Structure 1
Amino acid sequence: MKRVFIAGATGYLGRFICAEYQRRGWYVIALVRKTSRAQRISADQLIEAQATQPATLEGLMAGADLVISCLGITRQADGLGYWDVDYQANVNLLHEAERAGVGRFAYIHVLRAAEMAHVPLVAAKSAFVNELQNSSLATTVIAPTGYFSDMGDFLKMAKAGRVWLFGDGSKRINPIHGADLALATADAIEAGSKWCDIGGPDIVTQKELAELAFTCLGKPSRIVFLPDVFRRLALRLLPLVTPRRISGPARFFLSAIAHDMVGAQHGTHHLKDHFESSLGVTKQYVRSTPMRKGKDHEPRACWRNRRPDLRSHIHFRLCPASHSAGPIGLRNEQHRRGSGSSIQPNQSSGDDHMEHRHLHRERARTCSVGCRTSGTVEKGLGGMEHYHSDLWHNLDNTGLGCRNDRQCGH
């Protein structure tokens, strides 16, 4: 069985490459910094080591036929910079691969690196590629256009109401899904290619990308075009006014959007489907996240009315499971008092108040769906104020909340 050693296995692309090579029947060895962060990686063996420390790599690649490095950092952390990781850590891997006699070394680079040599992240990667091409090993360099995950910034801006673009938005890109890139990378390595510019199946302009984000959200497009001089000014000012962990990725992004980032078309995943899938996950997360008591969460308070008969019996409820809202006191007496019961406006005994509280708590414990509804503060039938909350009863059940689209049955 062939063996592949994959560095950067916990990253976005690294996970897909591990899965692709396992699918092809290779023995996958994944290099990780911490095994505790390596959950759900498709690997036969996890090796914990620090690529920035050459001594920890000694002997790890013995018997490997192929080394693939996806190693790199986007945001600088732990006191490490681009030259520590994107350059030196990869050099350490290359030297160990040479000592182990590995058959081929593949590296994930960036597209149009020559035009972005002034960007620190790209400069460090390009310096390593020079070392790699001077190596005695057979090599493959993969230069992707951009990941689907990076396009999420357009979706975030669209959610906020506007997408901001520099210039006229005519620059083109064909971003690629991680699974498609992993497949194309494995094919290129198998074919013995030395360099491949790889992109996804759909080529779009930045303006079309912004419009797609609004379309997936079901909103009218609101795009603001800024003169490109502001982009160039930002490139000059960012290193002076922001820390490296912010200015580094920002300078890369601002430089990349000034070019057509188009590679050879590969894959079957489309950006529209990715956006819609992301929105679906977001909606499910929002529906399954508990609301908390507080002034920022509405609707939560009862209808404050001076008439005690209305104040005692009308409060509002929002149920994410049924996507409906309304005055429970008017439309759902069964929820408050049980089937066949009714409440008269002037009925105000202390026994009724206690019965009401007991009924609510009993239904909270027995609801099998776990619908998270907004809490309300209600004046009890006996004049006592208590916190009335359907949303916490899920903690007594699964803690997951209502995750289906049918009417909650409590």
Structure 2
Amino acid sequence: MKEKVLLAGASGALGMEVLKLLREQDLEVRALVHSEDGAEKVAEYTDDIWKADASEGNENIKDITKDVSIVISTLGKSVSLFTNRGKSFMENDFYANSNVLDDAVKNGVKRFIYVSIKGAEKALEYEVAKSHKMFEDALEASGLDYTIIRPVGFFSGLNDLAIMAKRKVIPIVGDGHTRTNSIHQKDLAKVVVSVLREGPNIKEVGGPLIHTRREMAEMIEKRIGGKIIEVPEKLAEWGMFLPELLDDDLTAKLKYFKFVTTNDMIGEQHGDITFEDYLQGLDLEKDLP
């Protein structure tokens, strides 16, 4: 019998890239997706597809890890200001992953790889970070062999700024002097698969180049247009550019956005795809509503 991997969140931007790499290795993959659209996306790569909302309880995904030796979870709520808000970070990041973990422990899974976020242990006052850290703690206490990958952020996570650039403004918090090395999901997927069978308990991961937030905004300005606007830190949580969207969900995202953009977020450098490469590959009509 071939080694079987459960990939949770298989139809997401990162999940799809991980799925492709697993199939290249001729591994059997069971895919957990949330919707019919997700099931259609992964169908090219596996016919072992579970469509379920893992946050709704253990019974909803009972025995999803049966005959599975490795779990990879890319489950989690998007931090984009423009995505459908739906359930909370606690439901999508903590409860959903905890239900998968409970099933994995019950079925004797050997290894669990979880994609978290950089800063999860340092920003517990933010719902985004707190929900990830709570699951990290649960995974550490489970007794399973594990690796927690903490990316500094995806290039696609910066699409919000690109969307706003189309609307003629590119906000940066403060003077944009803080630095980061966000990563493309294809490069992050390679890191995930590299620790498939063994790896460190914690791995903080970034892309190949380190830039200041202002430098990245300038790249967006050059590619898309718009004007860079410095937003004072005290105003950064108010959603001054998107007042019609303000609610509890958006408030949580804006608070975390302020945190990550006012602190250096740098991980171990990986990959080859640069932020400029990513921007050049964007379809300005299709990818930026």
Q: Confirm whether residue 38 of structure 1 aligns to residue 43 of structure 2.
A: no
CA distance in 2, matches of 1:258, 1:175: 15
1:124 to 118, 125, 131: 131
CA distance in 1, matches of 2:259, 2:249: 16
2:177 maps to which residue?
Answer: 170
1:362 maps to which residue?
Answer: none
Q: Confirm whether residue 140 of structure 1 aligns to residue 180 of structure 2.
A: no
Q: Confirm whether residue 54 of structure 1 aligns to residue 58 of structure 2.
A: yes
CA offset digits 1:116-138 (Å, max 9, x no partner) = 21111211111111111011110
2:259 to 255, 262, 275: 255
Q: Which amino acid aligns with 2:158?
A: M
Q: CA deviation at 1:182?
A: 0.6
CA distance in 2, matches of 1:284, 1:12: 15
Q: Name structure 2 gaps, 5 residues minimum.
A: none
Alignment of 1:391-410 (within 5 A): none
CA offset digits 1:293-314 (Å, max 9, x no partner) = xxxxxxxxxxxxxxxxxxxxxx
2:228 to 214, 218, 223: 223
1:5 maps to which residue?
Answer: 6
Q: CA deviation at 1:188?
A: 2.6
Q: 1:3 to 1:260 in 2, by over 3 A?
A: same
CA distance in 1, matches of 2:37, 2:205: 32
Alignment of 1:2-401 (within 5 A): 2-41=3-42, 42-52=45-55, 53-74=57-78, 77-78=85-86, 80-217=87-224, 222-231=227-236, 234=238, 242-278=246-282, 281-282=283-284
Q: Name structure 1 gaps, 5 residues minimum.
A: 287-410
Q: CA deviation at 1:146?
A: 0.8
After TM superposition, the runs of 4+ consecutive aligned structure 1 residues lying more than 6 A away are: none
Q: Which amino acid aligns with 1:91?
A: S
Q: Which amino acid aligns with 2:248?
A: R
TM-score (norm 2): 0.87
Q: CA deviation at 1:172?
A: 0.7
CA distance in 2, matches of 1:181, 1:68: 13
Q: 1:44 to 1:268 in 2, by over 3 A?
A: farther
CA distance in 2, matches of 1:19, 1:7: 14
The 8 Å contact of residues 116 and 256 in structure 1, kept in 2 or not, is answered as: no
TM-score (norm 1): 0.63
CA offset digits 1:171-199 (Å, max 9, x no partner) = 11111111110101111333422111011
SS in 2 for 1:282: coil
CA distance in 2, matches of 1:138, 1:28: 19
> Percent of aligned pairs with the same residue?
28
The 8 Å contact of residues 54 and 60 in structure 2, kept in 1 or not, is answered as: yes
Q: 1:166 to 1:49 in 2, by over 3 A?
A: closer
CA distance in 2, matches of 1:188, 1:284: 34
The 8 Å contact of residues 238 and 251 in structure 2, kept in 1 or not, is answered as: no
CA distance in 2, matches of 1:147, 1:202: 13
CA offset digits 1:333-356 (Å, max 9, x no partner) = xxxxxxxxxxxxxxxxxxxxxxxx
The 8 Å contact of residues 105 and 144 in structure 2, kept in 1 or not, is answered as: yes
CA distance in 1, matches of 2:231, 2:92: 34
The 8 Å contact of residues 209 and 269 in structure 2, kept in 1 or not, is answered as: yes
SS in 2 for 1:4: strand
SS in 1 for 2:54: coil
Q: Which amino acid aligns with 2:22?
A: Y
SS in 1 for 2:40: coil
Q: CA deviation at 1:46?
A: 0.8
CA distance in 1, matches of 2:4, 2:194: 16
Q: CA deviation at 1:283?
A: 5.2
RMSD: 2.4
SS in 1 for 2:142: coil
SS in 1 for 2:63: coil
Q: Which amino acid aligns with 1:244?
A: D
SS in 1 for 2:96: helix
Higher relative contact order (CA 8 A, sep 6+): 2
CA distance in 1, matches of 2:174, 2:53: 42
The 8 Å contact of residues 158 and 210 in structure 1, kept in 2 or not, is answered as: no
Q: Which amino acid aligns with 1:86?
A: D
The 8 Å contact of residues 104 and 137 in structure 1, kept in 2 or not, is answered as: yes
1:327 maps to which residue?
Answer: none
SS in 2 for 1:223: strand
Q: CA deviation at 1:31?
A: 0.7
Number of positions where the alignment pairs a residue of Structure 1 with one of Structure 2: 276
